[in-house]
Amino acid sequence: MNFTILWFVLLFCGLALAQDDGGTCSPDTCNLLRDFGSRSEKLGAMETRLEDCESQILELRNNERTKVIFSAVATAGDKAIGPFDEDTTLIYNKVFTNIGNAYNPSTGIFAAPVAGVYYFSIYYHAGGHHEGKLFLYKNGQLMIMTHDHKSDSDTADNGGNAVFLQLQQGEQVYVQLAANCHVWGSDLHTTFNGFLVTLM
């Protein structure tokens, strides 16, 4: 008789256990474990992708932060600069803007702080009784120039030029006033300007 009862118990408990978790809440533990495994893999994969996003954003922000912009004028208190006996680096000594401090107003020399493509423009005003002539150099190599002739009838001249140059870090760009030439040294006319267009 005990045994009959035990069989009832066995039957009952068996049924009860079979629907155990399922009975308490679904889905059952097996699916839970399977799902949990796949979620863990996905989490790992997403973290890798997130790290990639973070590094790309950092690069974009660094590129954006790299700013090189300058404008300066060669001033000698409203009189001519030159003529000199030889070609002379023109010192644009009054600075309007010098973001990144790549232009040196004591030497007149711009040095590229980073490799990239830069824009440079020069403008001058000069009296007519001497030639006006400016050379823009990249590391001692003549790139562009602007000049006008001596003229007794035409008492003043203007000139300008511009160029985009690809520079390596440290390469220098500067302007020379040709021998026996002059430019007007007000603090408004004879300018040297440049900026970093893009990193390369």
> Scanning residues 123 to 142, which ones bind its own copies (CB under 8 A)?
123, 125, 135, 142
Rounded to 10 degrees, the C-alpha dihedral 74/80/86/88 comes to 0
Q: What are the C-alpha distances in Å from 11 to residues 5, 7, 22, 187? A: 10, 6, 18, 105
Of residues 3-32, those binding its own copies (CB under 8 A)? 4-6, 8-10, 12-14, 16-17, 20-21, 23-25, 27-30, 32
End-to-end CA distance of the chain: give it in Å, rounded.
93
* Binding region for its own copies (CB under 8 A) out of 46-54, 79-87, 104-112, 174-182: 46-54
Our finding on whether 56 is near its own copies (CB under 8 A) is: yes
Contacting its own copies (CB under 8 A), which of 75, 104, 146, 176? 146
Query: With the C-alpha atoms ordered 123, 135, 177, 128, is the resulting torsion angle positive or negative?
Result: negative
| Residue 188 makes contact with its own copies by CB under 8 A | yes
- Grouping H, G, I as helix, E, B as strand and the rest as coil, residue 183 is strand
Query: Least CB distance from residue 23 to its own copies, whole Å?
Result: 7
Choose, by CB under 8 A, the member of 76, 83, 119, 180 that binds its own copies.
119
Q: In terms of C-beta density within 10 A (0-12 exposed, 13-18 middle, 19 or more buried), how is residue 154 classed? A: exposed
Residue in 80, 115, 163, 179 binding its own copies, rule: CB under 8 A: 163
Count of residues touching its own copies (by CB under 8 A): 89
